[in-house]
Structure 1
Amino acid sequence: SFEDAIANSDVPILVDFYATWCGPCQMMSKILERVNIELNGQIRVMKIDTDRYPQIASSHQIQALPTLVLFKGGQSVDRIEGVLQAEQLIDRIGQFL
């Protein structure tokens, strides 16, 4: 399950809460691909479609899309709403690695 994956990960997990109809979410998808490559295994990126999994989005108080939530040790340690450029996102995540 989602919660088990978050709790049992040995690396921080960056969860991208998105929807297929969301333009900024589509932009963020490309940025996340680049971030994932640049951080090379230091984090795991997980995508949650809020239309398919509304209960997960609700339990994490997702109000805007895209929303990125960084989990470390099973706990939410950072939350970003909206689009960030890859460099900004890497800097922001870096403090938790």
Structure 2
Amino acid sequence: MDDNELKEIREKRMAELKEKMEHPGTTGSVIQVDQLHISDILQKHPALVIDFWAEWCGPCRRVGPAIEELAQEFAGKVTFAKCNTDENQQLAMQLNISAIPNIVFFSHGKMVDRVIGAYPKEAIREKVLRNFP
């Protein structure tokens, strides 16, 4: 590999990182939600799916990879996010999160649906398609 190839690779990677920082959620990455920034995130992302989870929750760990894959699949159309309920208890209470995993669907800042439990990726995809045609 010569210097020009390395330079091109570096420039491409820097452009990707810059895009990801400027437009989180449009590149297929899962963004993090906390109680301080929830209002801003709801305003910025008209089609938003938030996975409420906790580190100690086994079923949450099974849902996590599905959320990551769906974020890639719906990149640029639907934003996927995660919120740790242990670190954001006030937000969890505000949204009546009493069991996890709990996946909440927001359209233009309003809660439109939710999935409680460790549903398979296909079932979550169907909910995404139903809520964000």
TM superposition score normalised by structure 2: 0.68
Contact preservation (8 Å) 1:15, 1:48: yes
Q: C-alpha distance in 2, partners of 1:16/1:47?
A: 5
Aligned length: 96
Q: For the residues of structure 2 that align with 1:93 and 1:26, how far apart are their CA atoms?
A: 20
Cα distance in 1 between the residues matched to 2:121 and 2:76: 16
Provide the alpha-carbon RMSD of the alignment.
Answer: 1.1
Change (3 A) 1:51 1:93: same
> In 2, are the aligned partners of 1:11 and 1:42 still within 8 Å (CA)?
no
Distance 1:11 1:43 in 2: 8
Q: Which residue of 2 aligns with 1:5?
A: 41
Task: Give 1:94's aligned residue.
Answer: 129
Greater C-alpha radius of gyration: 2
Q: Specify the SS of the correspondent of 1:95.
A: helix
Structure 1 length-normalised TM: 0.92
* Farther-moved stretch of structure 1 (70-79 vs 36-45): 36-45
Q: If each structure's helix is expressed as a fraction of its own residues, which one has the higher value?
A: 2
Identity between Structure 1 and Structure 2 (%): 29
- How big is each residue's C-alpha offset from its partner over 1:46-78, in whole Å with a ceiling of 9 and x where there is no partner? 111011010000000001000000001100001
Instruction: Give matches, 1:28-47, under 5 Å.
Output: 28-47=63-82
Which has the larger strand fraction?
A: 1
- 1:50 maps to what in 2? 85
Q: Distance in 1 between matches of 2:66 and 2:124?
A: 9
Q: Which shows bigger deviation, 31-40 or 12-21?
A: 31-40
User: Secondary structure at the residue paired with 1:52?
Assistant: coil
- Residue 84 of structure 1: SS of its match in structure 2? coil
**Consecutive unaligned residues in structure 2, runs of 5 or more:** 1-36
Q: Which amino acid aligns with 1:5?
A: I
